[in-house]
Structure 1
Amino acid sequence: MTRPRTTKSKKVTMKDVASMAGVSIMTVSRVLNNDKVSDQTYDRVMEAVKKLNYRLNVSARSLSGSQSYLLGFFYDNSLGSYISQYLIGVLKRCNELGYHLVLEPCSFGEENVETIISELSSRYMLDGVIVPPPLSEYLPLLDALDAASIRYVRVGPGLELDRSAYVSIDDYQATFEMTEHLINEGHRHIGFIKGDSHQGVAANRFRGFSEALLKHGIAIEDAVVAEGDFNFTGGMKASEEILDSGRKVTAIFASNDDMASAVIATVHKRGLRVPEDIAVAGFDDTSIARSIWPQLTTVKQPIDDMSADSVDLLIEAIKADQILGIKLNKREILPHSIIVRNSTRPVT
C-alpha cells in the first residue's frame, strides 16, 4: 500500500503578514517590536498575524540585535487567584508581541534574592522583568534587581513610587468608594480586613476605608478591624476574629477577593446568611468573585488591561534604555469600578 504524501505546510513569513495587512514589511516589523504606529495600522497587522498564525523566530531575532526577547515574571503564590489571572494576561500580551516569558518563583521575605537573581541571569539573558504584588513592594528584591542592572516594571506598588515604572489603580480611592457604597446602603457597623501590614498597598486601602467612615461621621473605633495576609487562610482567621469580637457587625469589607470568599465561608459555617445577616464586599474582581455564592460585590481592578500595560511599559523602558540611555519611570493609573452583586444589600 502506498502511503499518501504528507504536504509540508508553507512557513508563514513577515512578507505574508504585510501582504494581508496591506502594509510594508517595515511596518509589520515596527508593530511587532512595539514601535509607535496608528491604532488602525496596529489592528490590521495584528489581525493578519492571528489569521496567519504567524510566529516570530525569537532565537534568530535575538542574534540580530542586543535584545533577547525574553521577559521575566517574578511571582509569589500568596495572591493565588489575582496572580493567576494577571499571569494569563501577561502571557497573552507577550505572545502578541513575539516575546517569551520566564517565570521565577520568589516569596515575600525571601532572604536569598541575590542568589535567585544571579542564577536567573546565568540561565537567561532577560531584557527585563515584571514584578507583581506583593513582590512589587519587597525592597530587598528591588535592591537586588537594581544592583544587577535589570530593568523592571512593578504592578500595584504602594511604596517608593518614584523608584520605577509601574501600573496600578488608585487603591485609596477605590476602597473609599466601596466603603461609601456600604454606608449608603445603611451599614454603620462595618468590619474591615486589612492586608499584610508590611505592604504599602494595604495601608492605602485601610486609609481609604478610615477616611470614608470619617466623612460620614463614623468613628474608626466603631469599626471592627482585623488583619489578614491577602490569602484565604488569613481571611478565615480575620473573619473569625471579627465575628468573635462580640460587637455588632452588619457588613465585612475584605481587602481582596480571596479573603472576602473566606468571610463568606465563615459566615455560612456559623449558620448565618449572606447578605441577609452580614453583607460581604471584596477587592480585585478575580474569577472567584463570580464563582462563589452569593457572587461577590467587589472593587474591579482592570487586571487584563493592567497585565497588557505592564508588558508594554517594560518594553518601552527597555527601548528607552537601549536607544536613549535613560531610565524610564513611567506610570499608568488605570480606572477602577464598583461591581455590585448579591453579597451585599441595603440594611432593612
Structure 2
Amino acid sequence: MSSRDRAGKPKKVTMKDVATMAGVSIMTVSRVLNNDKVSESTYERVMEAVTKLNYRLNVSARSLSGSQSYLLGFFYDNSIGSYISQYLIGVLQRCNELGYHLVLESCGFGADNVEEIISELTSRYMLDGIILPPPLSEYLPLLDALDEAGLRYVRVGPGLELDRSAYVSIDDYKATYEMTEHLIKEGHRNIGFIKGDCHQGVAANRFRGFSDALAHYGISMEEAVVAEGDFNFNGGMTASEEILSSGKPVTAIFASNDDMASAVIASVHKRGLRVPEDIAVAGFDDTSIARTIWPQLTTVKQPIDQMSADSVDLLIEAIKADSILGIKLNKRAILPHSIVVRGSTRPLDK
C-alpha cells in the first residue's frame, strides 16, 4: 500500500499517517517505535500500520537504542535574533569540544503541532537531549510534549516554572534594576522603557526590575513612557516611535534587548536627533550588534558564551544521571551579569 503526490512520485509516509491508520496519537506511535511500554493491543495496531504503510525507521538510530547517540537537539523559533545566533555558535563550539553533534529544529512559539514535530524528529534521530533557548524555553505545550516523550532538556533564560527542568540564566530582574539605576544616577527621570514579548516570563521580570528601580528612587511611573515590543528590530522601531511621539520629555530609552535598542537608535537618528546628546539609549544582552552599531550601545552584558557552554554541560550531566543513576537532575546555573557603559549614554546635562 502506498500513496503518491500530484507529480506521481511516492509520497513520504509520516508518523502522523501511521497514527491515523492505527487510531492512536502521534506520541503513542513514538513510544512504540522507541520501545516504551504500551499495551500489547496498541503495539500490534501500530506495528500493523507501520507494515502496511511501509513506514521506514531510521535503522542506524534504532541500533543505538540503550546507548548514547552523542546527538543533541537545538530547537529555535523562526524569529531568531542576534542573541540566539550568538548563543547557537557557543553551543556548537562546546558540542565540538565534547564530541557531540547538534541537530537544529525549527519550532515556532505558539505552534500547535509540537507533538508531531517531536515525533518526526525522534523517528529520524535518537537524541540524547534538547536545548531550548527563548522563547521556546517558556512554551509550556512544548515542554509538556517533551516530558510526555521522555526527552531530557535544558532551558535557557526561562521565567516560568523554574523547578521544571535544568536551566541556565542570569538574574534578569536584578540586571534591569541596575541598568535603570545607572540611568537615574546619570540624571534621567523621564525614561522610556520597551518591554519584551508579553508571552515570556523573562520580559515580565525585566519590566518589574525597571518599575521597582523607579519606585526606589521616588520616580512615578507616570514620568516614564512604556511601550510593548517583541524582542526584534521591527518591534523596537514601532515601540520607539510610540515613545518619541508621546509628547513627554523623555531623555533616555531603555530597551529590553539589543535588537530593539538598535532600532531605538535608528528611530532617534531618523528624527534628526542625536544619541546620546538628545536621547540616551540602553539595551540588554551585549550581543555583537551592541558593538557594531554607532554609537556603541550601553547594555547589560549576559555572558552568552559561558551560558552556551554551561547549557551543554548541564544537559550532558542530566543525560548521564538519567542513564547511569536513573535520576532526574534539574541543576541550574545563574551566571553573573554586568553593566557595560559605552557611547550611547552619558550624564544628563543639568
Which bracket does the TM-score occupy, shorter chain normalised? 0.7 to 0.9
Contact kept? 1:109, 1:138, Cα under 8 Å = yes
Q: Which residue of 1 aligns with 2:114?
A: 113
Matches within 5 A, 1:197-236: 197-236=198-237
Equivalent residues, number:
289
Q: Which residue of 2 aligns with 1:150?
A: 151
Cα distance in 2 between the residues matched to 1:201 and 1:64: 37
Q: Which residue of 2 aligns with 1:317?
A: 318
User: Helix, strand or coil for the counterpart of 2:134?
Assistant: coil
Contact kept? 1:290, 1:296, Cα under 8 Å = yes
Cα deviation for residue 222 of structure 1 reads 1.5
Cα deviation for residue 111 of structure 1 reads 1.0
TM-score normalised by structure 2 residue count? 0.81
Cα distance in 2 between the residues matched to 1:164 and 1:65: 22
Cα deviation for residue 80 of structure 1 reads 1.0
Cα distance in 2 between the residues matched to 1:220 and 1:171: 20
Q: Which residue of 2 aligns with 1:161?
A: 162
User: Helix, strand or coil for the counterpart of 1:253?
Assistant: strand
Matches within 5 A, 1:295-314: 295-314=296-315
Cα deviation for residue 79 of structure 1 reads 4.0
Cα distance in 1 between the residues matched to 2:223 and 2:174: 21
Cα deviation 1:315-336 (Å, max 9, x = unaligned): 0000010111111110000000
Contact kept? 1:75, 1:104, Cα under 8 Å = yes
Structure 2 residue runs without a partner (length 5+) = 1-59
Cα distance in 2 between the residues matched to 1:64 and 1:79: 33
Q: Which residue of 1 aligns with 2:99?
A: 98
- Counterpart of 2:114, as a letter, is V
Matches within 5 A, 1:76-91: 76-91=77-92
Cα deviation for residue 78 of structure 1 reads 2.2
User: Helix, strand or coil for the counterpart of 1:68?
Assistant: coil
Cα deviation for residue 221 of structure 1 reads 2.0
Cα distance in 1 between the residues matched to 2:314 and 2:245: 46
- Counterpart of 1:82, as a letter, is Y
Contact kept? 1:320, 1:328, Cα under 8 Å = yes
Cα distance in 1 between the residues matched to 2:69 and 2:76: 21
Structure 1 residue runs without a partner (length 5+) = 1-58
Cα distance in 2 between the residues matched to 1:65 and 1:122: 15
Cα deviation 1:32-70 (Å, max 9, x = unaligned): xxxxxxxxxxxxxxxxxxxxxxxxxxx99x959610000
Contact kept? 1:78, 1:230, Cα under 8 Å = no
Q: Following superposition, which runs of at least 4 residues in structure 1 exceed 3 angstroms of deviation?
A: 62-65
Matches within 5 A, 1:276-287: 276-287=277-288
TM-score normalised by structure 1 residue count? 0.82
User: Helix, strand or coil for the counterpart of 1:249?
Assistant: coil
Matches within 5 A, 1:42-81: 66-81=67-82
Cα distance in 1 between the residues matched to 2:327 and 2:145: 19
Q: Which residue of 2 aligns with 1:338?
A: 339
User: Helix, strand or coil for the counterpart of 1:166?
Assistant: strand
Cα distance in 1 between the residues matched to 2:227 and 2:79: 18
User: Helix, strand or coil for the counterpart of 1:310?
Assistant: helix
Cα deviation 1:227-252 (Å, max 9, x = unaligned): 10000000000000001111110000
Contact kept? 1:79, 1:230, Cα under 8 Å = no
Cα deviation 1:134-192 (Å, max 9, x = unaligned): 10000011011001000000000000000000000000000000000000000000000
Cα deviation for residue 113 of structure 1 reads 0.6
Q: Which residue of 2 aligns with 1:245?
A: 246
Alpha-carbon spacing, 1:276–1:228, altered in 2? closer, same or farther (3 Å): same
Cα distance in 2 between the residues matched to 1:137 and 1:64: 30
User: Helix, strand or coil for the counterpart of 1:74?
Assistant: strand
Cα distance in 1 between the residues matched to 2:130 and 2:337: 25
Alpha-carbon spacing, 1:63–1:115, altered in 2? closer, same or farther (3 Å): closer
Cα deviation for residue 220 of structure 1 reads 1.5
- Counterpart of 2:197, as a letter, is D
Q: Which residue of 2 aligns with 1:140?
A: 141
Cα distance in 1 between the residues matched to 2:313 and 2:338: 23
Cα distance in 2 between the residues matched to 1:297 and 1:238: 19
